[in-house]
Chains A and B, each alone.
Chain A
């Protein structure tokens, strides 16, 4: 059989030579009021941040407003970036806080992280079979039906180009909990696919 990771591709990275150095330089210039640097920063990170926020909120207009707020926060607070994380995870963390504030303000019911089932099942069940049979489009559709925290952790792990420690930093939880949450998300995804399969 093929090695499924022989080509560990599908990463969400850019073709930039040294993203960390470029980002640091952009933030320095943004802190000095350089609007061109802000435009470059937006081009480098805006779409990823927007996709992540949209994945969590499911509402385009709201997501656009949150991204705008996050970018404004970057514009105002570029000088406060201390380099303790990657710029990508920093701006995503800003957007995540904005998202939480907005969802609280709208009094939307949000599943509390503490109540989220982070413990995976003990082994593969019938749902895993459903995932094995699923087409990509079905999986994409099923992800939309996941609870927000599950969508969030999947988006951070697979759509944002962040490492697991960076995902843990954004979510402010240990790496082990990130893994558990990812597994729980996959289990929930399997369950949705299984239900859809039974209803066909």
Chain B
């Protein structure tokens, strides 16, 4: 880290740390701690993250390429020029396949036959934005900022996140409703008591706004397994009851909070090696099994991704 002439107590991250961080490689604990509290370094890190994201976007946009043919090991000349190009073009049309080229030479030409199809892609298109792809499955493992999920077909997919990735979690997470937390409660009111259907913990999250419920915002007091008291900004105290059917949504979670076994919906850009560089991740536990839901976005903007994943977070209330 570099010493800041203006403040030697907190040496700034050096370029190597910033680049390593943006490249998804580990940085030291001291650097990490410094970054958490240094706006200057956060700004620099965000700039490098954006550059890195742009590079990955290009890589993701790169079309697949055919597996090259192999010459016999007898040293015959490798195909050149138009023949090879034609072979590659033909192969590219089947880029999703694993091409196992059986190569033989007949009158100087190479014949290629495809033994695919084999693996199916684990990423699917996102309706409304051709640049985005979706991966969904069961969360197997969280390592730092990376998630490994298993799709319904049993295929593992690595989902990577950055500081700008929207990560939400939802389910019967009543233990996350704690005294002092800012919450938005949606439910039915009777006799001055709200029976909570959805409790959003943290910053208000407009996407989780299903019809039929009146939202009431406030701070949690007297939290227990049966409910809590909602203290509104005017000081009014409203009893709120919760149950196992209450959906708790945490719209700004970190990957480290996600629990193995949750159903994951991730939207982002496909990266090399079949990874998904996520713009948004929704981890839900209210489904007993992981259904495949096609994510649909209004456009390619980050807010659209947030809205779409928010709707999934609130399922089944949102009808998602």
Contacts and interface: CB of A to CB of B under 8 A. Distances in A.
Interface in A43-99: 43-44, 46-48, 50-52, 54-55, 60-61, 63-65, 67-68, 71-72, 75
B158 A13 contact: yes
Nearest to A142: B54
**Chain A interface helix/strand/loop/mixed:** helix
A116 interface: no
Given A10-B277, A33-B73, A179-B19, A68 B88 contact: yes
A46 B92 CA distance: 13
Interface stretch (B35-43, B184-192, B289-297): B35-43
A140 B54 contact: yes
B214 interface: no
A186 B48 contact: yes
B23 A64 contact: no
Give the interface residue-count category, chain B.
35 or more
Contact of B67 (A2, A14, A42, A63): A42
Interface in B124-168: 131, 144-146, 148, 156-158, 160-165
Given A12-B273, A55-B59, A3 B51 contact: no
A183 interface: yes
A137 B299 CA distance: 13
A182 interface: yes
B250 to A, nearest CB: 15
A140 to B, nearest CB: 4
Interface stretch (B25-33, B172-180, B216-224, B232-240): B25-33
A114 interface: no
B3 interface: no
A5 B19 contact: no
Most buried by A among B19, B46, B99: B19
A138 to B, nearest CB: 8
A170 interface: no
A18 interface: no
Contacts of B39: 1
Given A63-B65, A179-B19, A5 B45 contact: yes
Nearest to A143: B54
A106 interface: no
A144 interface: yes
B272 interface: yes
Contact of B273 (A35, A44, A64, A67): A44
Nearest to B45: A4
A50 B23 CA distance: 19
B65 A61 contact: no
A63 B274 CA distance: 20
Contact of B145 (A9, A15, A61, A160): A9
The range of chain A's interface size is 35 or more
Interface centre among A47, A143, A163 (most CB of B within 10 A): A47
A118 B172 CA distance: 54
Interface in B57-96: 57-59, 61-71, 73, 78, 84-85, 88-89, 92
Contacts of B21: 4-5, 8
Nearest to B157: A15
B50 A131 contact: yes
Nearest to B145: A7
Given A9-B146, A47-B64, A64 B25 contact: no
A132 interface: yes
A15 B56 contact: no
Nearest to A52: B59
Contacts of B160: 9-11
B207 interface: no
Most-contacted residue by chain A among B23, B31, B165, B300 (CB, 10 A): B23
15 contacts: A4-B162, A6-B32, A8-B24, A12-B56, A15-B158, A35-B70, A46-B65, A50-B62, A51-B62, A64-B66, A139-B54, A155-B59, A160-B272, A186-B48, A186-B51
Given A67-B68, A134-B50, 18 more contacts: A3-B36, A8-B144, A9-B24, A9-B145, A15-B157, A15-B158, A35-B100, A42-B68, A48-B59, A51-B62, A72-B68, A72-B71, A140-B54, A143-B58, A158-B23, A158-B51, A158-B52, A183-B15
Interface of B: 15-17, 19-27, 31-32, 35-36, 39, 42-43, 45-59, 61-71, 73, 78, 84-85, 88-89, 92, 98-100, 131, 144-146, 148, 156-158, 160-165, 254-255, 271-275, 277-278, 300
